[in-house]
Amino acid sequence: KMEEDALILAHEYSKYMKVDGSNYVKLLEEGINETLQNLEEYTRILDVMKSDSSVNVNAVLVKKTELLAVFEKVRKLEIIVGMVKRNVDEIENLVINAETDLKVTTEGKLRSFLKNVIFKKKTDSSTNASVSRRNEIFFVQPNIFSTSELFSGDST
């Protein structure tokens, strides 16, 4: 009889302690569904980024080869500028030496002519020596750079 009373008592108390967990389960299911939706959206974003980045990587690789060609042309132009500068310096030195040897100035022909007429000196042996020296001066052409030497293999 005691067992029956205990069962009845337990049944009566269970009515007071009845717990409705459906609200908690519903909240938990909503949280799980929201998390799954966020994960699906994140996965879609990652897929879009992956496809875009692969397209961009291919475009960057194409541009890389184009840039390497441009860099090579710039390097060759720097070489040309250096060679032209050396050629100009060499020719400038030759012009200065020639002007010194021939006693010619860069003042201009008219001014030089007028200077000779106005301040005409008597002809002496030093003038005759400079005239004969002018006849002995020879011009040796320097080796001048040709761009075809550098771009012989290029099509542009």
Band of pLDDT at residue 38, cut at 50, 70 and 90: very high
pLDDT digits (tens, 9 = 90+) for 103-128: 776 666 656 666 665 666 555 555 55
78 contacts 150 by C-beta, under 8 angstroms: no
102 contacts 137 by C-beta, under 8 angstroms: yes
The model carries a pTM of 0.45
CB-neighbour burial class of residue 94 (10 A; exposed 0-12, middle 13-18, buried 19+)? middle
**Which tokens go with 144?**
């001048």
* Angle formed at CA 139 by CA 83 and CA 86, multiple of 5 degrees: 10
Report the percent of the chain where pLDDT is more than 70: 72
Asked whether the CA dihedral 77, 78, 83, 87 is positive or negative, the reply is positive
**Which tokens go with 43?**
């996965």
- Spans of all domains in the chain: 2-150
**Which tokens go with 46?**
């990652």
